[in-house]
Amino acid sequence: RRCNLLACSSKYVLSQIHPMWQEPLAIPGGDRQSPIDIAVRKSVFDSELKPLVYDYDPQTCQQIWNNGYSFLVEYDDTTDKSTLKGGPLQDTFRLCQFHFHWGESNAWGSEHTVDRRLFPAELHLVHWNADRYSLFEEAVMEDNGLAVIGVFLKVGKRHEGLQKLVDALPAIRHKDSVVEFTRFDPACLLPANTDDYWTYHGSLTTPPLTESVSWMVMKQHIEVSHDQLAVFRSLLFTSAEEDVQRSMVNNFRVQQSLCSRTVRSSFS
Ligand SMILES: CCCCCCc1ccc(S(N)(=O)=O)cc1
Ligand SMILES: [Zn+2]
């Protein structure tokens, strides 16, 4: 489908005259936005793609908090203790956090889709390029700054590893609440097969929507129980002080044009 040139052209606007510099700002209406639909038959097998190499230290797990959009499990990323490399990546990336996106019903909730198939939820493991940058905040703004692993969730049997996280959610019901959360191994949330994935260049799916992400979407999903997902939906977008409380559901972005991008697969 020819994408609408207007939607795809990376529109540049001259920034207002800044006292220090004047540079064109690539605005988020760019040509490599996320999420997208992964049309399997249009993806291209790339035999150069290597298996992902992840090495996570559960001791680097620090806290879990509600940021008013999702809940984040944050890791100490001041050393190379929890890293991702391999796959399409040239550098070593450090895990900084993981979070989820989900719907109000099991019929939808994921950000990416596979041949338009929706999943009830999607996990994102967020890493930044520690070979080239010294802080996550820096890497967020750069072309090859971030690497995010996407894993689809399906409703089925209870996920034992997820339960520790589910049990912590009532303590962070409201926006800006945070509790200590330690010794959680994020590898337990990855599917058995991490060799089969689709990869493409995209963006953050929430502000600042910067086009700095190498996406790796796993072909194999994980299973969680209906009750575990229901606890996700018991979270609130709103802080304790607000009069009207709103359930944290449907926290996914609308899908974006693929434009001139190609999705590559690590499997044929
Ligand atoms: C300078 C602060 C920037 C915080 C941006 C945090 C963020 C990380 C990952 C994703 S996602 N859903 O694309 O994985 C969205 C946003
Ligand atoms: Zn996300």
What ranges in the chain are assigned the alpha helix state H?
A: 5-8, 136-139, 160-168, 226-232
- For the chain, the distance separating the N- and C-terminal CA atoms, rounded to the nearest angstrom, is 23
**Cα–Cα nearest to 123, from 201, 44, 78, 70:** 70
Q: Indicate if ligand 1 lies below 6 Å from the C-beta of 214.
A: no
Burial class (CB in 10 A: 0-12, 13-18, 19+), 214: buried
CB of 60 closer than 8 Å to CB of 34 = no
d(CA 82, CA 89): 16
Residue 191: band (very low, low, confident or very high) from pLDDT cuts 50, 70, 90 = very high
Residue 265: band (very low, low, confident or very high) from pLDDT cuts 50, 70, 90 = very high
Tell me the chain's radius of gyration from C-alpha atoms.
18
Query: For the segment 6-33, what is each residue's pLDDT rounded down to a tens digit?
Result: 445 444 333 333 322 232 345 556 999 9
What atom in ligand 1 is closest to the CA of residue 111?
12
When the pLDDT of each residue in the chain is averaged and rounded to a whole number, the result is 91
Query: For the segment 132-184, what is each residue's pLDDT rounded down to a tens digit?
Result: 999 999 999 999 999 999 999 999 999 999 999 999 999 999 999 999 999 99
* Pocket test residue of 126, 148, 216 for ligand 1, highest count of atoms within 8 A of CB: 126
- CA of residue 203 to ligand 2 center, whole Å: 10
Q: Indicate if ligand 1 lies below 6 Å from the C-beta of 72.
A: no
* Pocket test residue of 71, 136, 205 for ligand 1, highest count of atoms within 8 A of CB: 205
* pLDDT reading at 123 higher than 50: yes
Q: Indicate if ligand 1 lies below 6 Å from the C-beta of 140.
A: yes
User: Atom 12 of ligand 1 has which residue's CA nearest to it?
Assistant: 205
Burial class (CB in 10 A: 0-12, 13-18, 19+), 45: exposed
DSSP code, position 16? P
CB of 257 closer than 8 Å to CB of 7 = yes
What atom in ligand 1 is closest to the CA of residue 253?
12
Q: CA-based angle 24:27:29, to the nearest 5?
A: 140
User: Residue 98 is encoded by which pair of tokens?
Assistant: 């993981």
Burial class (CB in 10 A: 0-12, 13-18, 19+), 260: exposed
Name the one residue in this structure whose structure tokens are 């190609």: 262
User: Atom 14 of ligand 1 has which residue's CA nearest to it?
Assistant: 124
What's the whole-model pTM score?
Answer: 0.91
The CA-atom distances, in angstroms, between 157 and each of 189, 224, 225 are 14, 6, 5
Query: ipTM > 0.85?
Result: yes
Query: For the segment 65-101, what is each residue's pLDDT rounded down to a tens digit?
Result: 999 999 999 999 999 999 999 999 999 999 999 999 9
Q: Within 13 Å of residue 131, how many CA atoms lie on the same side as its CB?
A: 11
- CA of residue 161 to ligand 2 center, whole Å: 20
DSSP code, position 69? S
Q: Indicate if ligand 1 lies below 6 Å from the C-beta of 205.
A: yes
- pLDDT-above-70 percentage for the chain: 89
Q: Which ligand is nearest to the CA of 95?
A: 1
* pLDDT reading at 252 higher than 60: yes
For the segment 105-109, the average pLDDT, to the nearest whole number, is 98
- CA of residue 53 to ligand 1 center, whole Å: 22
CB of 236 closer than 8 Å to CB of 249 = no
- CA of residue 268 to ligand 1 center, whole Å: 31
What atom in ligand 1 is closest to the CA of residue 213?
13
CB atoms within 10 A of CB 223: 14
- CA of residue 19 to ligand 2 center, whole Å: 35
User: Residue 40 is encoded by which pair of tokens?
Assistant: 């399997």
Query: For the segment 207-236, what is each residue's pLDDT rounded down to a tens digit?
Result: 999 999 999 999 999 999 999 999 999 999
CB of 74 closer than 8 Å to CB of 96 = yes
- CA of residue 198 to ligand 2 center, whole Å: 16
d(CA 11, CA 1): 20
- CA of residue 170 to ligand 1 center, whole Å: 23
